[in-house]
Chains A and B, each alone.
Chain A
Amino acid sequence: MEFLLTLLGATLRIATPILYGALGEMIVERAGILNLGIEGTMLLSAFGGFVAAQLSGSIYLGLLIAVAIGVLLSLLMGFLSITLGLNQHVSGLGITLFASGLALFLFRIIYGGESIPPALEESFPQLRIFGGTSLEPVFSQYVFTYAAFLLVPLLAWLLYRTSFGLRLRSVGENPEAADTAGISVFRTRYVALLMGGALMGLGGAFLSLAQLGAFTHGIINGRGWVAIAIVIFGNWRPWRVLAGALLFGGLQALQLRLQAEGVQLPYEIFLMLPYVMTIVAIAITGRNASYPAALLKPYRREG
């Protein structure tokens, strides 16, 4: 029992950054844009947040900077893919390459070639609820984790129960129809991108400001790509995206636990499973998958 509860606690922790990334990507894709910049955005946010927190001594300022970086990179993505109408995947990859290179470049400038990565003196603490009870291992989490789980119903509400959500989805499904209904396709897509960027920034910040309290080159390590897989796996729906993130977190937690117990196993199998399952899911549903219909298509008014 305790084993399971500890495992569940680890699952929630591991799922957190993925969930931020995936929810952010989901919002952007729902508006018709595939943001392959996610991997680099999360890395640069993790880095920027860390540097700001370290230099100023304020983790809150760090958090703000991380979110701001996510928003700024999304603004760049919007300029390239919405305003200029460039290829979304080339733009997104370009942003990932740019942001990753920039993060590593600045890291070297600021911290030189230190072999031990610098750490924060103070990082976000864990918040224990049910302290002393058997549920403690589950509910010893960072604020980020609780917030991420609250975000799921919030985003579900926003997407399905508000006029903003309705407009955002209409822009991703049929921009012409949205346009004739007097909705600004460009503005809605920008707003979606910026919201998504903020969430991606939070995901990065969680890693460097809370879980690790430090920055390393491999801090994101493909979590952005996992997020993209989970969005598809989760059928672009908040609750299913949550399920995907938990599945990923659970596999990862189990794998770490088994390794710690000294069980010999190729842990990579667990790590690649979300990708494999996503591709299998795509293969099964084929084009019937509920892709936002206008995904990858730049919008231009006729005439």
Chain B
Amino acid sequence: MNIVEMRGITKRFGTLVANDKVDIDLGRGEIHALLGENGAGKSTLMKILYGLYQPDEVTITIEGRTQPIRSPAEAIERGVGFVSQHFSLVPTFTVAENILLGYEQQFRLDPAQMHTRVAQLATDNGFNIDPSAIVGKLSVGQQQRVEILKAIFRDCRVLILDEPTAVLTPRDTQSLFEILLKLCAQGLAVIIITHKLEEALQHSQRVTVLRHGKVVGSQETSSTTSAELARLMVGRQTTPVQRPANANASEPVVLEVSGLSVADKRGVHALNAVNFQVRAGEIVGIAGVAGNGQSELVSVLTGMLQPQRGAMRVDGQAVAFGDPRACTRHKIGRIPEDRLRGVIGDLSVADNLMIEQLDQFTIVGHLQPHAILEHAQRLINDFQIKAAPNDPVRTLSGGNIQKVILARTLAQDPAVVIAAQPTRGVDIGATEYVHQKLLEQKQRGAAILLISEDLDEILLLSDRILVMYNGRLVGEFDAAAVDLDRLSLLMTGAEKTG
């Protein structure tokens, strides 16, 4: 008998349908992989199960009891546990304190007794963990185990793990699944939200693939192949309209990145020896599932993050890392991943349109209001921004904020454009507009690096496509000859090539 049955789950956010009549079953003692690209609706579905979102249409049956789940507290009470990517642990507390917090049972706390209790719980479930250790001093892998133990302590029968291996070293990943297997042997049901194909294949008994909010496949893991899953996940039967790759290989290299490596405090590589070049008049797209190092790449290239190793050159000149002004000096136009970081919401549109070029609009430290206003009006016209120069940017729609950033960046005729998720969360009209502007820049001769989670966007605009997986560039395609099956396999880590 299934422990969880979700039927006809539909969840809309405004006009976006995040989950469309999703059915999913979870068996006792199984590890169930929920596979899909970003925005496929995996997290939404699980947040519904955990009571964080209220679906529009739903039937959730847990252990034979059909009842809506209105809050995480209710979910916990019904035996559902959730370990998100951001642990909710108190770093200054011990392991035991974190696990017992909110469930102490008595007013007086006896640390020795707490430790024994947690130690017992840990051994019973095959965890090797010191109850008296301070959580903030543990590795991420150990912290994750504390989170799992916390869920088990709250008598969890259904455990949801959101991208559990995203922050783990391979060794930690190994021991995570060893622990999960033991727990499943005792009857725990586990759902793993993941976009890593390999992981789903290796560790799950059943796999459900979501695409655009719908279930596109659900089967025994043993009866499927990585190729099939990759196709289901990325799911494009037809090759997109062939566009001539009109970048000329004889154009000079403008942007050159070599040996870029970024490691975090624990030595886990977010970027690992990344090399690529972008020529004048060329759009290079970086394809990949989110969380494979794209954010770090963007941060480094936009001057917000200092890499451990590597170099970046524009027109042959080295660009200093960690200094946003160096980017402006070398004519690198930047469209940040997070729109709200690219603007100061409380300042006016006019101010935001010139804030990267303050030198041009100041005379001995004095702002030139007429020049600023004229500049703003010109860009508002040129870029069809629906706003007045004096409106605070925060009052604008997402698409118009993006146009403000685009206008500021592109009006400088940049030599290089770093466009990160340039159409994330904006409507179709604005999306087309952004695409058109990027193509104009390409015509003008700019070297454009497009980093996007939206594969269609990459396929539509790029002359060359690089695939990023686990902090490395693992494949390269000419836009004229994209093998979509292989692209899918590379993106999901199913095929390992260099």
Q: List chain B residues, Cβ under 8 A from A173.
A: 90-93
Contact size range, A: 20 to 34
A58 nearest CB across to chain B (Å): 33
Q: How far is the CA of A155 from the CA of B89 in the complex (A)?
A: 24
> Does B202 lie at the interface of the complex (its beta carbon under 8 Å from any beta carbon of A)?
no
B residues within 8 A CB of A181? Answer: 88, 101-103
Report B14 CB to chain A, min CB distance, Å: 15
Chain B's nearest CB lies how many Å from the CB of A169?
A: 7
Q: A174-B88, A177-B88 are in contact. Are A166 and B106 (CB under 8 A)?
A: no
Q: Out of B91, B97, B101, B103, which one reaches A293, CB within 8 Å?
A: B91
Interface residues of A in 288-303 (CB under 8 A from B): 290, 293, 303
Note all chain A residues with C-beta closer than 8 A to B101. Answer: 166-167, 170, 177-178, 181, 183
- Contact: B102 with A174, CB < 8 Å? no
Q: 1/0 per position for B474-494, CB-CB distance to A under 8 A?
A: 000000000000000000000
With A and B bound together, what is the CA distance between A170 and B101 in angstroms?
Answer: 8
Among the listed A163, A167, A174, A290, which residue makes an inter-chain contact with B89, where contact means beta carbons less than 8 Å apart? Answer: A174
Knowing A170-B93, A181-B101, A183-B101 are in contact, say whether A163-B106 is a contact too (CB < 8 A): yes
Question: A176: which B residues are within 8 A, CB to CB?
Answer: 88
Q: Mark B93-113, 1 if CB is under 8 A from A, else 0.
A: 100011011111111111100
The answer to the question of B73 belonging to the interface, with a C-beta cut-off of 8 Å to chain A, is yes
In the complex, A182 has a CB within 8 A of chain B:
yes
List residues of chain A with CB within 8 A of the CB of B88: 174, 176-177, 180-181
Residue in contact with B104 in the complex, picked from A163, A169, A303, CB distance below 8 Å: A163
Task: Fill in one digit per residue for B64-99: 1 if any A CB lies within 8 Å of its CB, else 0.
Answer: 000000001100100000000000111111000110
A-B contact count (CB 8 A): 62
A106 to chain B, nearest CB (A): 40
Q: Is the CB of B91 within 8 A of A161?
A: no
Query: With a CB–CB cut-off of 8 A, which chain A residues contact B52?
Result: 303
- A164 contacts partner chain B, Cβ-Cβ < 8 Å: yes
- Asked if A56 lies at the interface with its beta carbon under 8 angstroms from chain B, I say no
Number of B residues with CB within 8 Å of any CB on chain A: 24
Identify B102's interface contact among A167, A290, A293, CB under 8 A: A167
Please name all residues of chain B whose beta carbon is closer than 8 Å to the beta carbon of A183 when the two chains form the complex. 101-102
Nearest chain-A residue to B150 (Cβ)?
A181
- Taking CB atoms, residues of chain A closer than 8 Å to B90 are 169-170, 173-174, 177-178
Complex: A290 Cα to B101 Cα, angstroms: 20
Q: Which residue of B lies closest to A290 (CB)?
A: B92
CA distance A165 to B93 in the complex (A): 12
Distance of A303 Cα from B50 Cα, bound (Å): 15
* Distance, CA A303 to CA B52, complexed state (A): 9
Q: Is the CB of A166 within 8 A of B89?
A: no
CA distance A280 to B245 in the complex (A): 64
Neighbour of A162 across the interface among B91, B102, B105, B109, CB < 8 A:
B109
Q: Determine the distance from Cα of A161 to Cα of B102 in the docked complex, in whole angstroms.
A: 14
Chain A residues with Cβ below 8 Å from B98 are 177
| Contact residues in A for B76 (Cβ distance below 8 Å) | 182
Q: Are A162 and B107 in contact (CB under 8 A)?
A: yes
Residues of A contacting B108 in the complex (Cβ-Cβ under 8 angstroms): 161-163
Chain B minimum-CB-distance residue to A183: B102
**Contact A166 to B109, CB < 8 A, known contacts A181-B101, A182-B102:** yes
- A182 contacts which chain B residues (CB < 8 A)? 73, 76, 102
Mark interface residues in B206-235 (1 if CB within 8 Å of A CB, else 0).
000000000000000000000000000000
Query: Which chain A residue has the least Cβ–Cβ distance from B97?
Result: A166
Question: In whole angstroms, how far apart are the Cα atoms of A177 and B106 in the complex?
Answer: 20
A166 cross-chain contacts in B, Cβ below 8 A: 93, 97, 100-101, 104, 109
In the complex, what residues of A have CB within 8 A of residue B105's CB?
163
Judge whether A174 and B91 touch: CB under 8 Å: yes
> Of A160, A161, A181, which is in contact with the most chain B CB atoms at under 10 Å from its CB?
A181
Determine if A169 and B93 form an interchain contact, defined as CB atoms under 8 angstroms apart: yes
Q: For A165, A167, A173, A290, which residue has the most chain B Cβ atoms within 10 angstroms?
A: A173
Assembly CA distance A161 to B88 (angstroms): 22
Using CB atoms, name the residue of chain A closest to B89.
A177
Q: Report the minimal beta-carbon distance from A171 to chain B, rounded to whole angstroms.
A: 9
CB distance from B83 to the nearest CB of A (A): 11
- Name 23 interchain pairs, CB-CB below 8 A, sorted by A: A160-B109, A161-B109, A162-B108, A162-B109, A163-B108, A164-B107, A166-B93, A166-B100, A167-B101, A167-B102, A170-B93, A173-B92, A173-B93, A174-B88, A174-B89, A174-B91, A177-B88, A177-B90, A177-B101, A181-B101, A182-B73, A183-B101, A293-B91
Residues of B within 8 A of A (CB): 52, 72-73, 76, 88-93, 97-98, 100-111
Known: A160-B109, A166-B97, A174-B90. 12 other contacts (CB 8 A): A161-B109, A161-B110, A162-B107, A162-B109, A163-B106, A163-B107, A173-B90, A174-B91, A178-B90, A181-B102, A182-B102, A290-B92
